[in-house]
Copies of this chain bind each other. A is one copy, B any other.
Amino acid sequence: MIRVLIWNEFVHERKTPEVAAIYPNGIHNAIKDGLVELLGETVEIRTATLDQPEHGLTDDALDQTDVLLWWGHLAHDQVADAIVERVQGRVLAGMGLIGLHSAHAAKIFQRLMGTGCMLRWREASEREKVWVVDPSHAIAAGIDNEHFEIPQAEMYGEFFDIPQPDELIFISWFEGGEVFRSGCTWRRGKGKVFYFRPGHETYPIYHQLEIKRVLANAVQWATPSGSEYFGEAREC
């Protein structure tokens, strides 16, 4: 049983009718539905949002979390630094973290990367093709036609200011001429981190089967699997 926590700032859906029309219960619940659909009883899923006490990321909540998914965009700077530090500590101690779309600019992601994580972008409802460049990777399982297509997407383009990924799994092509490293992994401490680009709030991206598939794979991959040991500084 993998214990999943889906965090969403939950701002767009409450303030923009077109987003609410696509995600009436919030992006977090759409993601949850996808994971339940594909992973069934092998996962136990909870959600948390920015407006909850401690943003729903209490020690108690994190004690019960194997993998945390993070969606944020408008309110990155409203996430308290103390909570960011707490989440970072959990990742280093083994919790998986999946950063979604504009979470590239979330404090927690920047802090784990050590870079600015900036990129180019354009909102023009462009076609995106997501190509598999590591077919051996568990996160690519089920993407069997070499790539999949997202009919309408916000463009993210290189240079994406991240550390070189430990593993590069997906590269996106955009109609307007850009490319982007869309699926990347890194190890931090004992925790595994996956960043997945698609997920703009004005398109029904989390309802698309391939996206659900990648997220389900990523949840399984990011589950702690290594040594129980974790290094503390210590004289010996």
Contacts and interface: CB of A to CB of B under 8 A. Distances in A.
Interface string A195-235: 00000000000000000000000000000111111111111
A119 B231 contact: yes
A198 to B, nearest CB: 15
Contacts of A226: 134-138, 140-141
Given A136-B187, A177-B173, A122 B192 contact: no
A171 interface: yes
A: interface residue count bin: 35 or more
A230 B179 CA distance: 17
A86 interface: no
Nearest to A175: B177
Contact of A187 (B158, B163, B173, B181): B163
Nearest to A108: B114
B235 A121 contact: yes
Interface of A: 88, 92, 94, 105, 111-116, 118-122, 129, 131-138, 140-147, 157-161, 163-164, 166-168, 171-174, 177-179, 181, 186-192, 224-236
10 contacts: A119-B231, A122-B236, A133-B159, A134-B226, A136-B190, A137-B226, A138-B225, A163-B163, A166-B167, A173-B173
